[in-house]
Structure 1
Amino acid sequence: MAPAAPHRPGPKRPQPPRGMKRRLARLPIALFRAGLGPLFGSRFLRLIHIGRTSGQSREVVLEVVAHDPADGSWTVASGFGPKADWYRNLRHTPQATVQFGRQYHAVTAQFPTPEEGGRIMAEYARRHPRAARALCRFMGFPVDGSGAGFGAAGEQIPFVRLETAPERSRAV
């Protein structure tokens, strides 16, 4: 079992959606399953992972914060904090599969330090300022729009780097 997340306490996290909002939030999973992953471009991926208590396969579609095609890695953030089920599942079993477009990749989850998270968020804010402001607002972080403000928020956001195992990746 992986050690506990080293993230500092932050503002009260938003709660995951329930009912109809949850159904709508999970709609992208069906689109990925139907082979329509390319509709999402390079901004989203489907993460297929193992539930920590059930041992069953679980799925979630996540926004890609950073993608490095050279080393085959994706970085995602847990918008619902370190208690999000997918995040806790990866801490328990870091091996998973990513669907990016129509490609499937075997990955292993790595957990950046809070300082690395600050750099990741500052870089994301530079590339996608409106999305970064919206993410911070959603998570309850006050940001002034400066790189320092995004960096401070990023130190409290749990990020996950999904690194490929090249010999196990496949196309569909």
Structure 2
Amino acid sequence: MTLTIPTLLTLFRILLIPVLVVVFYLEGRWTNLAAAAVFVLAALTDWLDGWVARRYGMYSAFGAFLDPVADKLMVAFALLLVVERHDTPWMALLSAIIIGREITISALREWMAQVGAHGLVKVAALGKLKTIVQMVAISCLLFYEDLFGLPVFRIGEWLLAIAAALTLWSGWDYLRAAWPAMRQKG
């Protein structure tokens, strides 16, 4: 197996997960900024690995498998950290919606590939918008403090609610697209 640049970036993103956890729990006034910076770096590597893969044709089966796994792991761990620090029913519900949808759609894509209908559940523009809003929301929630008078945490909460709504909407679109194959006997 040859490791392409996009795959190396994806592996780097996975390696950032324990860094995020450690930085999140360190003592110090700067740790919220550092945790947000680690998460933003991971989000940027997600964009960069996709851009490099498309621009230079650096695709691999391993990279295609690993990229969504890295994304979902980073988001899930970040949301768990946010919920631990802000353990409200609202934050837990929004995080559960996002994590639950990711697990459901991953399982759906795997099943659709097994039945030869993987083309029905490709990433759509709505899913990309959901990802952008989600990444900005989580970055704000990890940063937590006000910045230049802006209530960054409150902005993050609202963006996470929007991301959860987009998550449900895009998840519904995926399920609706897959429904004909799911109804078949066999």
Q: Which has the higher helix share?
A: 2
Same fold (TM over 0.5): no
Q: Which has the higher contact order (CA 8 A, sep 6+)?
A: 1
TM-score using structure 1 length: 0.27
* Structure having the larger proportion of residues in strand: 1
Superposition TM-score, scaled by structure 2 size: 0.26
Greater Rg by CA: 2
